[in-house]
Every structure is written in C-alpha cells, then in structure tokens.
Amino acid sequence: MLGRMSETGIVPDTKDWTWVLREACPECGYDATTVDRADLGARIRASAAPWAAALARPDAADRPEPGTWSPLEYACHVRDVHRIFGVRLASMIEEDNPRFANWDQDDTAVDDAYGEQDPATVADDLLAAATAVAAQYDSVADDEWGRPGVRSDGSEFTVETLGRYHLHDAAHHVWDVVRGP
C-alpha cells in the first residue's frame, strides 16, 4: 500500500524492497534471480500491456477498499516509476557512481492528484514511459551492466540490479491490480 494516511487514507509503504533482488516475492511471485538482463527491456514492455484494459474499466478510478489504491492510482505510480528509473539508468551510464535524488512516491501521488488523472491519458503515458525505459535497457552495453549507483537511502545498485529491482516494481503493481482486493 502506498500514499500518505492523512491525505489519502492509505498507510505509507516503508519497507525496504531491495530484498527482492535476493529472493522471490511471496506476494506476486517475481524472482529477480531468474531474470536474464538481456530480457529486461522485453519484460518491462510486457508489464505495460495489462494497463490499457485495467484503465478502460468504468471503475478504474475507484478504490477497491479505502486503504488500497485504485487501478488509476497504481498506473500513475507505475508510469512515474518508469520515468524515474529512466533518469536513474541514464545517470548510471553517464556518470561515475551517481547518487539518486530522493523520490517520495507518496508525496507525488498526492501532489499530482493521481486519482483525478484521465485514465486514457495515463494508459498512453505509461506505455510510452515503459517503452522508453525498455529501450534504454536494450541499449546497455555489456561493459555497462556493472556500473554503480546509490539510492538516497544508501542502497547500492548496479545497472543490472537496478533493472531487476525496477522490473519487480512494474510486475508487482500489475499483480496488485489484476488480483483485485
């Protein structure tokens, strides 16, 4: 669950999800240890496919329960995840050991009024963001996969682990929406 309790009715998710790089997610089943880095782009593109149908539903902006984001809110988040990871990936390729700026996903959800955005526009933007970042992963050279970067909380990534972590976020939120409440 994501979001600020005081403004959205959702308790912030404060877990450090980097453990998904070492073991399978018991919720969505994603297993980063089985992902071939050469498949990251294709798998990110594939993860975007279910969103068009989810956002075309008449209830896409409705929360299934007060403490759970609507499909629209999840889709806005996933769109922004792709954009943020695109910036982070580019910085890892272009800079030596960059430190990523903090991104508060909960503040973004409130500040950008995720639940009030147009579902059709979000579907198009999510697909475009996924396609763009997938192309970035497709273009990573063999000698660039080990380039490092550091998240604002100190978590260290390589280009490869960043991609695997990113893919979990995309896959997990598809699971969040497809499985229902």
Give 100-156 pLDDT, tens digit per residue: 988 888 888 989 999 999 999 999 999 999 999 999 999 999 999 999 999 988 899
Q: Where are the domains of the chain?
A: 5-179
- Are 181 and 68 within 8 A, CB to CB? yes
User: How much is the pLDDT for 93?
Assistant: 98
How many Cα atoms are found within 13 Å in the side-chain-facing hemisphere of 119?
16
User: How much is the pLDDT for 149?
Assistant: 97
pLDDT above 90 for 18: no
Give 49-87 pLDDT, tens digit per residue: 999 999 999 999 999 988 889 999 999 999 999 999 999
User: How much is the pLDDT for 86?
Assistant: 98
pTM assigned to the model: 0.90
Q: Which CATH number is associated with domain 5-179?
A: 1.20.120.450
Alpha helices (H) in 95-158, listed in sequence order: 105-111, 119-138
